[in-house]
Each structure stands twice: as structure tokens, then as C-alpha cells.
Amino acid sequence: MGKFYAVKKGRQPGIYTTWPDCQKQVSGFSGAIYKSFASKAEAEAFMGSSSTSKAPAKTSDGQEIRWLGDTHAVAVDDKASMSVYVDGSFDKSSGYFGYGGVVLYQGEVSKYSGGRNDAEFAKQRNVAGEVIAAMQAVNIALKANAKQVVIFHDYMGIAEWALGSWQAKNKYTQEYRDFMQAKAKEIAIGFTKVAAHTGDTYNEMADQLAKNGIQEAKKANR
């Protein structure tokens, strides 16, 4: 039995039995709310559930936040909310990819980075690093007992795969999608797209951390 796609908010709300039909209703639709289910009963329950989400639609400076699932989140500037800027990098000559993140939480700024030499995963180039950085962000937020995490990213797929707007076509993007959708049951997860290399302080920091992660991995494997 195939999946059932419930579109609560889109061009034509309803339950669809194929992803292409669902995608027509939500792709490019601002604030779309939709989710896939294994049974029609679950999809109908989702459609009939209250949508009184308290999740803010934008950050304090007007950037759009897209929430994973029917979340009930706190204000982005609330002390229980964590913001994480993530990025990835790829070194073609060595095949290494790196990841980095800048964590803003309760007035403190912290960082993380790392790198890997996984030939198959590295086919995703810098996207491989950004995917890992995003998953790390969620794990860090959970460990800190934050109520929500907003992930600032510059590659669209970070949000689109998690939200189901893009089809996850390989095991890495599928694992990422499944991870995010599972963790969304434990913590509110939001995504905000930022333009790459435009001077955004924390985005630039994340970019450099991802590059540093490659060097760290190279040294560790010498």
C-alpha cells in the first residue's frame, strides 16, 4: 500500500495518493502544511486536527521560518529557543568534506566542526557536510533541552528534504529526511534559508568552520 499525502494548507487542501499530485499543491506555496502517512485514517486525522500552532512564521529580522510538522514552538528570541547556522564544504583534490555550525543559545555562542573521507557520501560534495551539520544541530539542541531549534542554512535541500518538498533519492538524503522527521517528535524544528556569501556573520563563520573541519579530518587521518 502506498503513502497518503495530507495537504492541510496549500493550493487545494486534501488527501493525495501520489507525491507528484501533492507536490503540485505545496511547491512554492508560502506556509504550506502537509505530511505523508502510511494509512488514510492517519491522514484524515491530521486533516481534522486543530492547526492552532503558536510557531512564529518569521525570525525577529523578518526571515521566514518553515516548520517541520504541526509544531507548537516558542518565540525565536525565547531562552528555550536555539538558533544554529550550518554549512558544508568539499575539497575536490582529497575527496574530504567538512561541516560546521554556529550555535546561538541563551546569550552564548558556541561552535562545532568536523570532516570525513567517505567516498560515496562525498559524491554529494559540500551538501554532505551541510546535511551532517544540520543533524548535529538537532542533537545539540536536544542535549541542551531546548524546546526548539531553528536551522539557518544556505542550501535549499536542507529544508526541502526534511519537509518532504523534495524527493530524497539516495540513502543519505533519505536517512537525513527520516532523522529530521523522527526528531521533530521530540523537539520543534524550523528552517530558515540564508543567502550564501553575502556577509551574514554567522553564515560566514559556519562556512569557515566547515573548511576547518576538512583540515581537522586530514590531520587526524595522517
The reply to whether 128 falls in a domain is yes
Q: What is the pLDDT of residue 35?
A: 86
Instruction: Give dist(CA 164, CA 8) in Å, integer.
Output: 14
Q: What is the pLDDT of residue 68?
A: 83
Question: What is the extent of the structural domain holding 43?
Answer: 4-48
Same domain, 32 and 81: no
Contacts of 31 (CB under 8 A, 6+ apart): 9, 57, 66
Q: What is the CATH number of the domain that holds 37?
A: 3.40.970.10
Phi, psi angle pair for 160, to nearest 5°: -65, -40
The reply to whether 57 falls in a domain is no
Domain count, the chain: 2
Q: What is the pLDDT of residue 120?
A: 64
Strand order in the sheet with 96-105: 66-67, 188-193, 148-153, 81-91, 96-105, 108-116
Same domain, 104 and 190: yes
Q: What is the CATH number of the domain that holds 105?
A: 3.30.420.10
Three-state SS string over 98-119 comes to EEEEEEEECCEEEEEEEEECCC
Q: What is the pLDDT of residue 74?
A: 61
Q: What is the pLDDT of residue 158?
A: 93
The reply to whether 190 falls in a domain is yes
Q: What is the pLDDT of residue 20?
A: 85
CB 82 within 8 A of CB 149: yes
Pairing outcome for strands 81-91 and 148-153: parallel
Instruction: Give dist(CA 81, CA 86) in Å, integer.
Output: 16
Q: What is the pTM of this model?
A: 0.71
List b or e across 47-80, with b for residues whose CB sees 16 or more CB atoms inside 10 angstroms: beeeeeeebbeebeeeeebbbbbbbebbebeeee
Q: What is the pLDDT of residue 2?
A: 77
Residue ranges in the chain modelled with pLDDT below 70: 1, 48-62, 69-77, 118-124, 126, 196-199
Same domain, 114 and 164: yes
Cell 587521518 belongs to 221
Q: What is the pLDDT of residue 168?
A: 83
Q: pLDDT tens for residues 61-79?
A: 557 788 886 555 666 667 7
Same domain, 188 and 124: yes
Q: What is the pLDDT of residue 53?
A: 40
Q: What is the pLDDT of residue 60?
A: 53
Instruction: Give dist(CA 123, CA 172) in Å, integer.
Output: 10
Q: What is the pLDDT of residue 47?
A: 74
